[in-house]
């Protein structure tokens, strides 16, 4: 199975009710051999329209901060825990996360990233959990670096949160700078 074939499978998915309200499923974009993977929560309105992750305001902020530390979007892989937009951008339900998790697992195993940045609480909880680490709170876990087997997991505030609370921009910058250092190693 190639990453492309998996992305096609995701585009046609009907495993949960979000398939009935989405315009486009959003499998993920970027380098299929990326060593750095960024994982968000779920697509928003613009992502749903374009079928690409992080292309709205939060995505532009993320791209800007990545560019500041010398990382281009095309060299990383960007995806979400849930591949279809929840109506009104509500938080995805646990059942939707469960239905979608096999896709994320398969993406991780096909791409084989060395570092994963978990953007917000849903990916932090989900992905840390996949690696046997119990999520406590964003306040406590953000910016910490978790080494599990041969991967590095880094919870980070979600760029959408920084649109409402500009103080978080610097926290995201700080976390992604740390990620940049690990990435260049
Ligand atoms: N927020 C996310 O979590 N993912 C996107 O793709 C866009 C906004």
pLDDT surpasses 90 at 91: yes
Distance in Å from the first CA to the final CA of the chain: 30
| Mean of pLDDT values over 54-76 | 97
Say which CATH number the domain at 97 has: 3.40.470.10
- Which CA distances in Å does 55 have to 5, 6, 25, 135, 157? 23, 21, 14, 28, 17
* Closest atom, ligand 1, to C-alpha of 122: 3
| Mean of pLDDT values over 88-109 | 98
The SS3 call for residue 91 is: coil
Number of domains in the chain: 1
| Mean of pLDDT values over 71-86 | 98
Alpha-carbon span 16 to 19, nearest angstrom: 6
- Which CA distances in Å does 118 have to 18, 22, 26, 38? 22, 23, 17, 6
Pocket lining for ligand 1, CB < 6 angstroms: 40-44, 47, 53-54, 56, 58-59, 80, 160
Kindly state the tokens that stand for 33.
Answer: 């051999």
CA of 67 to the centre of ligand 1 (A): 18
Range of 70's domain?
3-184
CB contact at 8 A, 5 and 26: no
**Could you report the per-residue pLDDT of 25-60, keeping only the tens digit for each?**
999 999 999 999 999 999 999 999 999 999 999 999
* Closest atom, ligand 1, to C-alpha of 53: 6
Q: What is the pLDDT of residue 11?
A: 98
Instruction: State the pTM of this model.
Output: 0.98
Reported confidence tier of residue 185, pLDDT bands at 50, 70, 90: confident
Q: What is the pLDDT of residue 100?
A: 98
CA of 114 to the centre of ligand 1 (A): 22
Q: What is the pLDDT of residue 122?
A: 98
Strand partners, 117: 38, 154
CA of 147 to the centre of ligand 1 (A): 25
Q: Whose CA is nearest to atom 7 of ligand 1?
A: 54
């Amino acid at each position: 199975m190639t990453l492309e074939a998996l992305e096609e499978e995701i585009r046609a998915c009907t495993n949960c009710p979000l398939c009935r309200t989405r315009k486009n499923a959003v499998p993920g974009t970027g380098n299929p051999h990326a060593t750095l993977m960024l994982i968000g929560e779920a697509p928003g309105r613009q992502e749903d329209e374009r079928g690409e992750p992080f292309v709205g305001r939060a995505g532009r902020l993320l791209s800007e901060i990545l560019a500041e530390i010398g990382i281009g979007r095309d060299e990383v892989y960007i995806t979400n825990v849930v591949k279809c937009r929840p109506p009104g951008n509500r938080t995805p339900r646990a059942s939707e996360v469960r239905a979608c998790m096999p896709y994320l697992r398969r993406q991780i195993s096909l791409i084989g990233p060395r570092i994963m940045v978990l953007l917000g609480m849903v990916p932090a909880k989900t992905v840390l959990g996949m690696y046997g680490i119990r999520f406590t709170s964003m306040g406590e876990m953000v910016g910490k670096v978790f080494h599990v087997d041969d991967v590095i997991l880094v919870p980070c505030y979600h760029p959408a949160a920084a649109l409402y609370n500009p103080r978080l921009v610097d926290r995201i910058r700080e976390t992604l700078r740390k990620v940049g250092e690990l990435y260049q190693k």
